[in-house]
């Protein structure tokens, strides 16, 4: 049976997204095809607006204001010399929701399952090193390695710690309020808040 070309094209695009395989993409495509045109066009317009977002050149978080940097990096009440290194943007949201962190962030990017850093991550780390080297003293007061405590996250944490050891007065890691194998993104605010407080 031949699948209509619009559905095939949509499935090909959607199945490239993280966590969505071809079967899920097909289900979503047929679900949307059965909705009204208004619903489909509304979804398309929402997706199109994502193209207007920007990536902060300091922390690599995604933002939409007209400033050169994101709201967190430009906030004068945030401690610029305390930087939490996270894997993804959703980790920033989770830590912010915990409500007890007043530093800034650095989004390293998705962790490779094979270990090591991607070229993008190396490039981002280089930009952080240059930025820190240009500050008074050439070092951050504290860099918090806030990657998920999975086996791959632990490997990446060790590499990032080694890369940044000369650029911080101290480097800490999240306390193990988050269980081994857990994800920062899915930790509840209380657990994540405790991990921030108990960093070492």
CATH class assigned to 54-197: alpha beta
Specify whether the CB–CB gap between 96 and 118 falls below 8 A. no
Where do the CATH 3.40.1360.10 domains begin and end in the chain? 54-197
Average pLDDT, the chain: 89
Fold of 5-50: Helicase, Ruva Protein; domain 3 (1.10.8)
Which pLDDT score, from 0 to 100, does residue 179 have?
65
Where do the CATH 1.10.8.420 domains begin and end in the chain? 5-50
Q: What is the spatial distance between Cα 60 and Cα 11, in angstroms, rounded to a whole number?
A: 29
Which pLDDT score, from 0 to 100, does residue 180 have?
63
Report the interhelical angle of 89-98 vs 189-197 (nearest 10°). Answer: 90
Which pLDDT score, from 0 to 100, does residue 108 have?
95
Positions in the chain short of pLDDT 70: 1, 114-115, 176-181, 194, 198, 200
Which pLDDT score, from 0 to 100, does residue 183 have?
78
pTM: 0.79
Transcribe 132-198 into DSSP letters. HHTSGGGSEEEEEE---SSHHHHHHHHHHHHHHGGGEEEEEE--TTSPTT--GGGS-HHHHHHHHHT
């Amino acid at each position: 049976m031949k699948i209509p070309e619009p559905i095939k094209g949509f499935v090909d695009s959607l199945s490239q997204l993280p966590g969505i395989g071809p079967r899920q993409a097909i289900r979503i495509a047929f679900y949307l095809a059965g909705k009204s045109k208004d619903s489909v066009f509304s979804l398309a317009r929402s997706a199109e607006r994502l193209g207007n977002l920007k990536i902060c050149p300091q922390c690599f978080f995604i933002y939409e204001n007209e400033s050169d940097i994101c709201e967190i990096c430009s906030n004068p009440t945030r401690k610029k010399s305390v930087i939490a290194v996270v894997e993804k943007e959703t980790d920033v949201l989770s830590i912010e929701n915990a409500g007890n962190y007043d530093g800034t962030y650095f989004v390293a990017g998705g962790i490779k399952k094979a270990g090591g850093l991607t070229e993008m991550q190396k490039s981002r780390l280089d930009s952080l090193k240059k930025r820190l080297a240009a500050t008074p003293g050439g070092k951050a007061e504290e860099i918090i390695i806030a990657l998920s405590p999975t086996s791959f996250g632990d490997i990446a944490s060790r590499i990032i710690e080694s890369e940044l050891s000369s650029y911080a007065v101290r480097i800490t890691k999240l306390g193990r309020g988050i269980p081994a194998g857990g994800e920062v993104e899915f930790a509840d605010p209380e657990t994540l808040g405790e991990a921030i407080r108990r960093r070492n």
